[in-house]
Chain A
């Protein structure tokens, strides 16, 4: 993911190729590319955070890791790619006015959201609700979540086959300004700002609205919430739908950042990272998902620079996750959705 930035440092004498040892700490590269890597990491982190919110919200009200959320996300990516392809977008950036591009991207995002929301809604109805009705054990939910994830993956495989979708380039990033010598481009700015706006809106929705109060009540004590007149089933569906909306937005930003390669099992790794982000911040905690997402994004990039190969991105991110959990088992912000104060 850092290939373009990284090519700079690959030419330096301190880089990996000059050493025969298995792991070579390339501190020079990290220091030289620190700020570009930070901003690039924040961009990926914002996308992870949007997906992480879906895991965290559902976990908050159901105490369930919805492993099918990675497929909720990838379905959103298909929605985005299909829309842009049919609007004439392709491997090369289109020659359109800025307003036309914005209009097309918003349209693609809305379709992505619809794809994700429908997927999330169906998963809740078909996979989880019948189990709830029967008072199934937590293990049954877990197995069902994995089953739902694979079922959707292979359903996509059946329809689209094993090849990745063609690339859709939305626009060529243009430099906007510089911070600490690092160039911030229009793409990074768009993704980070839009993602943060969506996350703040979600946070406020949960803190301020009536339905948000219902979500918090169900998270804290489902039985008592019911005694207050809260329709628990409707609240649960609402959290799946909110998670779907955010995943659809994440899909647009992800395809914007990584234009090629949307594939049937492409949600898996991103889902795992987003899940890790949710756990890192404190699962069930909305602000924790944001913090965890940004950290996973940034730390992964540092690891890649330090160890000199993009394969290390995930390894380093997960090592940090394990270390944090050893010290703070409940995550950085620790609280659950229910306990977070308004």
Chain B
């Protein structure tokens, strides 16, 4: 396996407040990697650093062997990093189809786009049913499907998912995680950020625990699931 994404000593701050203090971790090609942590641990900041919405103060991010720390965010999308952002980021005034279309903004291969649309509709039949509906009028679960589907329309090599289970009903959470595994089995590498540690660890090949801007634990999903300290802190088991 080759390393697809690598963060080395990444420091990111908002003004004078430092949110990430020397974060290092990596994602291998073909993996699902979960990053779990409490509110405010720096999960979304990490995602924004990888997608380029936030600049690094120190450290580096390497994607597919190239240092992308200075590459602009919209160019990183073209390189193969797509994100379903926290809060889903659905364009409320656009229809489902237009939202999906936004995911292909930088692409020029029309036939490829058609294939990907079919793939997304196979993964999420609900989106096909609702394709002319305004994104803003859909339920939370449907919006999450749309956010993931839209990210897939960029035909990414690395899919970043920021809290896909947030605010969803339990049956939706299971469904979303099942589909995440399916996407991964079709060949897309996934980096997942989650508060719902149980599902995130069960589905992941490897996982990291993020606490106040640094990695405190790492291992395979299964190892972390059975770690007592993590059980107490994140899985609600005393």
Instruction: Tell me the A residues contacting B by CB distance below 8 Å.
Output: 210, 213-214, 216-217, 220-221, 223-232, 335, 338-342
Contacts and interface: CB of A to CB of B under 8 A. Distances in A.
A227 B91 contact: no
Interface in B65-94: 72-74, 77-78, 82-83, 85, 89, 91-94
User: Top 8 closest A-B pairs, CB basis?
Assistant: A224-B89, A229-B106, A229-B77, A339-B93, A229-B105, A228-B102, A226-B73, A220-B91
Chain B interface size band reads: 20 to 34
B91 A216 contact: yes
A341 B92 CA distance: 9
A341 B85 contact: no
B233 interface: no
Given A228-B103, A342-B98, 17 more contacts: A213-B101, A213-B105, A214-B105, A221-B89, A223-B53, A223-B89, A224-B91, A226-B53, A227-B82, A228-B77, A228-B105, A229-B78, A229-B105, A229-B154, A335-B93, A339-B92, A340-B93
Contacts of B203: none
Contacts of A342: 93-95, 98
Contact of B85 (A220, A223, A231): A223
A174 B82 CA distance: 60
Interface string B105-143: 110000000000000000000000000001000000000
Nearest to A231: B74
Contacts of B93: 216, 220, 335, 338-342
17 contacts: A210-B105, A214-B105, A217-B105, A220-B93, A221-B91, A224-B85, A225-B102, A227-B77, A227-B82, A227-B89, A228-B105, A230-B102, A231-B74, A232-B74, A335-B93, A338-B91, A339-B93
Nearest to A341: B93
Nearest to A340: B93
Contacts of B157: none
Contact of A227 (B51, B95, B98, B134): B51
A227 B92 contact: no
B78 A227 contact: no
B206 interface: no
Contacts of A338: 91-93
Contacts of B94: 213, 216-217, 220, 342
B150 interface: yes
Contacts of A216: 91, 93-94
B91 A217 contact: yes
Given A223-B85, A224-B85, A227-B51, A217 B74 contact: no
Contacts of A231: 72, 74
A226 to B, nearest CB: 5
Which interface residue of A210, A216, A227, A341 has the most chain B CB atoms within 10 A? Answer: A227
Contacts of A213: 94, 98, 101-102, 105
B102 A217 contact: yes
B204 to A, nearest CB: 23
Contacts of B52: 226
A227 B73 contact: yes
A210 B101 CA distance: 9
A228 B98 contact: no
A213 B94 CA distance: 9
A223 B83 CA distance: 11
A214 B104 CA distance: 11
Contacts of B78: 229
Nearest to B91: A220
A342 B74 CA distance: 24
A217 B91 CA distance: 7
Given A220-B93, A221-B91, A341-B134, A227 B85 contact: yes
Contacts of B134: 341
A230 to B, nearest CB: 6
Contacts of B150: 228
B99 to A, nearest CB: 9
A230 B107 CA distance: 11
Interface string B40-81: 000000000001110000000000000000001110011000
B22 to A, nearest CB: 24
Nearest to B53: A223
B53 A228 contact: no
Contacts of B73: 226-227
Nearest to B136: A339
Contact of A229 (B74, B91, B92): B74
